[in-house]
């Protein structure tokens, strides 16, 4: 059997621990739900992600405050890793190695966890191979079930009140993604302020086609509309909403009759606006609780999701960031 990539702790609290890198990815962060849990004040709740994609291992920064480093070089967005490379998260470092399938293992769980100290920087990740049975906790599942049922009910009421007879896309949006950037072959498409949906649809409808088409982003030289749609579908299905939106617009500019482009552009504008509004509201909640770093991170996410400076969500996020950083708004 072919060897599989694993991350092996070489510095910090998880020295000697190994974690297999799969196509579903490894999440590194301070939040207990991450596969690699680092209870360290210098590590963000969702700090980084390492994923196996198309036979290559990718590492990406999930919006951390202190950054992710590979071989001492900061990762601006995402990049590939090869065996022997070291990825650093705060004071913790992991080396990418190749191992036999199923060989990823961890040392046995200690009999009693160490007492928490005020100066403690790290803690051990719960070892799933420990002999002692884990205590069943039911309330997170009940809460998740209640949330899912509530969402289904809301969507049902919305669909009943707002029927939609337009064409439906062939693929649905991803249920969850650590961030809006996941590596794909060929690199990420450039993100630019998006023209409105009405402008994009006007191109297909032939209403002032030349003027409206000029507002859409230009496609890379030598690419076809079909290639751009395929690339946009990958971005859409992996949660890279801004990249998908820009690529669909490029395809629509090349082929004004692209029906999937029209549907996805309309849907993506709505999804991006919803995510941006949720992040804006989350930043206000953090601010009210005096969690300034978390509030700043949420508002910076809004600016990335909605790069158009004329958008009200972008403007509110910029004003909130200026208030948090003690600077006058631009």
Q: Give helix 241-254 / helix 259-288 axis angle, nearest 10°.
A: 150
pLDDT tens across 191-226, in order?
A: 444 444 445 545 444 555 566 566 677 778 888 888
Residue with tokens 């209403």: 207
Average pLDDT over residues 16-26: 91
Cβ neighbourhood burial of 49 (10 Å; 0-12, 13-18, 19+):
buried
Q: What digits encode the pLDDT tens for the residues 259-290?
A: 888 888 888 888 888 888 998 899 899 989 88
Can you name the residues that pair with 60 across neighbouring β-strands? 49, 78
What does the block give as tokens for 129?
Answer: 């191979």
pLDDT higher than 50, residue 115: no
pLDDT > 70? residue 84: yes
CA distance 283 to 295: 4
**What is the pLDDT, as a whole number, of residue 157?**
62
Instruction: Give CB contacts under 8 A, 24+ apart, made by 277-284.
Output: 277/313, 279/305, 280/313, 280/316, 280/317, 280/320, 283/317, 283/320, 284/320
Considering the chain, what is the average pLDDT of its residues? 75
pLDDT surpassing 50 at residue 122: no
pTM of the model: 0.34
Here the tokens at position 96 are 């990418």
Lowest-confidence range among 22-36, 56-70, 167-181?
Answer: 167-181
Confidence category of residue 172, pLDDT binned at 50, 70, 90: very low
Q: For the sheet containing 78-81, what is the strand order?
A: 36-37, 26-29, 48-53, 56-61, 78-81
Highest mean pLDDT among 87-96, 111-120, 266-275: 87-96
Contact 242, 180 (CB under 8 A): yes
Calculate the alpha carbon distances from 224 to 144, 278, 282, 307 in Å.
43, 35, 40, 26
Q: Which residue has the tokens 């962060």?
A: 29
Give the other-Cβ count within 10 Å of 152's Cβ: 10
What is the SS3 assignment for 82?
A: coil
């Amino acid at each position: 059997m072919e060897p599989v990539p694993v991350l092996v702790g070489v510095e910090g609290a998880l020295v000697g621990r190994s974690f297999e890198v799969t196509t579903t990815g490894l999440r590194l962060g301070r939040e207990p739900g991450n596969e690699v849990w680092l209870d360290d004040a210098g590590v963000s709740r969702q700090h980084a992600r390492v994923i196996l994609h198309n036979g290559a291992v990718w590492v990406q920064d999930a919006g951390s405050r202190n950054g992710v480093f590979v071989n001492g070089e900061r990762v601006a967005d995402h990049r590939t890793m090869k065996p022997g490379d070291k990825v650093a998260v705060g004071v913790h470092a992991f080396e990418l190695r190749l191992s036999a399938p199923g060989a990823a293992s961890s040392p046995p769980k200690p009999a009693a966890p160490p007492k928490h100290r005020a100066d403690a920087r790290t803690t051990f990740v719960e070892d799933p191979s420990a002999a002692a049975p884990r205590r069943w906790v039911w309330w997170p599942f009940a809460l998740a079930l209640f949330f899912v049922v509530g969402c289904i009910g809301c969507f049902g009421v919305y669909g009943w009140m707002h029927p939609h007879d337009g064409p439906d896309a062939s693929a649905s949006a991803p249920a969850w993604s650590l961030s809006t950037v996941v590596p794909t072959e060929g690199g990420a498409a450039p993100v630019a302020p998006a023209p409105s949906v009405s402008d994009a649809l006007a191109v297909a409808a032939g209403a002032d086609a030349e003027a409206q088409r000029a507002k859409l982003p230009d496609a890379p030289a030598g690419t076809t509309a079909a290639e751009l749609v395929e690339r946009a579908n990958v971005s859409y299905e992996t949660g890279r909403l801004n990249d998908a939106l820009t690529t669909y617009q490029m395809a629509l500019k090349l082929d004004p009759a692209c029906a999937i482009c029209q549907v996805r552009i309309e849907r993506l504008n709505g999804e991006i606006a919803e995510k941006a509004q949720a992040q804006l509201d989350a930043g206000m909640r953090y601010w009210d609780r005096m969690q300034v770093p978390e509030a700043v991170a949420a508002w910076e996410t809004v600016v990335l999701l909605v790069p158009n400076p004329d958008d009200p969500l972008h403007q509110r996020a910029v004003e909130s960031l200026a208030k948090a950083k003690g600077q006058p708004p631009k």
